[in-house]
Structure 1
Amino acid sequence: MRDWSKTLRRASFRGVPFWVDAEEPEVGRRVVAHEISGGDASLTEDMGARTKTIFVEAYVAGDLADVAGQALEQACGAPGASLLILPMDAGEAAHCLSCSRNRRKDRNGFIAYRLEFMRAGGGVAFAASGLGQLRSAFNAGLAAASVLIAAQL
């Protein structure tokens, strides 16, 4: 039997690492219904693929959870698309649409996040290497993230 826990990667955005509790990619089609006046049937028109949206329940944990959380929030708030890596999927360019923090007083050292990403369009280029991710994180003003990533290497 396959041990899935050994095949899953650590997630990151702009090179800032985090853990994933759940992820929900949403794909589909843009369909418009044309309802004809006085008619009993409608016509549908397929307008093409919807832009992929990904909802992620993420968390940071440990003695440096506060620093890691601030780095993740700054990465999500930075403009433009960047590399999003999730445990099972190939990395892809994405924009972070929202980042919602949930910290509870009885779970010190653990900060949960609800993240929403949208796949970037238009041939967005980014550096996929570890050093490229580190450079992206640093350029976004994430000195704390670069320290965390260096500790992971």
Structure 2
Amino acid sequence: MSIDSALGALQSITTTISIADNTIKRVAADFGGGLGGGSGTGWAAQLRPASWRGVPFGVLGGGIKFGRRTAVHEYPYRDTVWVEDLGRAVRRITMTGFLVGDDVIAQRDRMIAAAETAGSGELIHPTLGQLTASAVECVAEEKWEQGRVFQLSFTFIESGKRVFPSVQVSTGSAVLKACAQADAASKGDFLASTAAALKQGAAVVAKVASTAATWGRQAQRLANDATNLYNMVGTLKGGFGRYAKGNGIAGIAVAAGAVSSAANSIPKLIALGSAARTAVSSAVEKLTSTASGLGS
């Protein structure tokens, strides 16, 4: 072997050793170790053993769908749309894994029981950590050539607490209610402050009504006196009138002189007296009715 061949072989061996050394360091770093010992903070050290409702399983891969919920609004004659943000979208997690071991059938049965349990459960994801999720779909596949290995596929949805609608105060309704209360309070204050004046006014009106009724009774009595047949005799011609015009009834005779004439007679005077009493009675009734209306 020539010297050049020996040098080339030596350089090739050196390159291979360097590549192997770098590979060993990278693998050691991934698993949290090192040739001289590591702190355990590498990528592999951050992975967590996966499980669903406490049933462990191996993980081959997975994915997560996330983003925002939106509503796209399109309008006529516009080239752009308005995207309405409706909050964070639900997180959908997909995973592929496996169960392995001589007891793989028992493991599979426990996984079926966990997947068929009602409600949300605890999911331990290798990189996402502990989550509260609901299993939407779980599939277990068995193949002859794989022996004691069952392949799994999952679809999970991250779930939260059940929250019921809460009651909130409607500002508009509260303002309307406050306005109604203020209106009622102002009316009550007005009535309280004017009650005394209203009572005094009612007393005055009642006094006026009582006075009017008294005047009506007096007018009726005077009308009866003025048209009394006895007093009418003084208006007759001849001796009856002369005797009737004595001092006893002088005042009434003077008042009755307006109806004295040559054609006067007792029947006519009686008719005039009756008509006068009827007119006065009608006027008194109107006055009394008006006074009663004021009093009420």
TM-score of the superposed pair, with normalisation by structure 2? 0.40
Deviation at 1:10, TM superposition (A): 1.4
CA distance in 1: counterparts of 2:162 and 2:125, whole angstroms: 20
Partner residue in 2 for 1:17: 56
Conserved 8 A contact 2:62-2:96: yes
- 1:10-38 Cα offsets, whole Å, 9 max, x none, are 11111111111112121111111111023
Number of aligned residues: 124
Pairing 1:67-146 to 2, within 5 Å after superposition = 67-122=106-161
Superposed CA RMSD in Å reads 1.7
Per residue, is there more strand in 1 or in 2? 1
Deviation at 1:98, TM superposition (A): 0.5
- Residues 78 and 108 (structure 1), Cα distance of their counterparts in 2 relative to 1, 3 Å cut: same
Pairing 1:42-53 to 2, within 5 Å after superposition = 42-53=81-92
- 1:75-115 Cα offsets, whole Å, 9 max, x none, are 11111011100122220111111101121110011001110
Per residue, is there more helix in 1 or in 2? 2
Deviation at 1:6, TM superposition (A): 4.0
Find the residue that maps to 2:76 and give its secondary structure: coil
- 1:55-86 Cα offsets, whole Å, 9 max, x none, are 01021001111111111121111110111001
Find the residue that maps to 1:91 and give its secondary structure: strand
Partner residue in 2 for 1:64: 103
- The structure with the largest alpha-carbon Rg is 2
Conserved 8 A contact 2:125-2:131: no
Deviation at 1:39, TM superposition (A): 2.1
CA distance in 2: counterparts of 1:73 and 1:48, whole angstroms: 34
Q: Which amino acid aligns with 1:95?
A: S
CA distance in 1: counterparts of 2:125 and 2:69, whole angstroms: 25
Q: Which amino acid aligns with 2:56?
A: P
Find the residue that maps to 2:60 and give its secondary structure: strand
Partner residue in 2 for 1:26: 65
Find the residue that maps to 1:75 and give its secondary structure: helix
**1:2 matched to 2:30:** yes
Find the residue that maps to 2:106 and give its secondary structure: helix
CA distance in 2: counterparts of 1:36 and 1:98, whole angstroms: 38
CA distance in 2: counterparts of 1:112 and 1:8, whole angstroms: 20
Find the residue that maps to 2:85 and give its secondary structure: strand
Q: Which runs of 5+ in 2 are unaligned?
A: 1-28, 32-42, 164-296
CA distance in 2: counterparts of 1:6 and 1:33, whole angstroms: 43
Find the residue that maps to 1:78 and give its secondary structure: coil
Deviation at 1:9, TM superposition (A): 2.0
Deviation at 1:123, TM superposition (A): 6.5
CA distance in 1: counterparts of 2:84 and 2:45, whole angstroms: 44
Conserved 8 A contact 2:69-2:86: yes
- Residues 7 and 40 (structure 1), Cα distance of their counterparts in 2 relative to 1, 3 Å cut: closer
Find the residue that maps to 2:128 and give its secondary structure: coil
Q: Which runs of 5+ in 1 are unaligned?
A: 125-153
Q: Tell me which moved more, 91-100 or 30-39.
A: 30-39
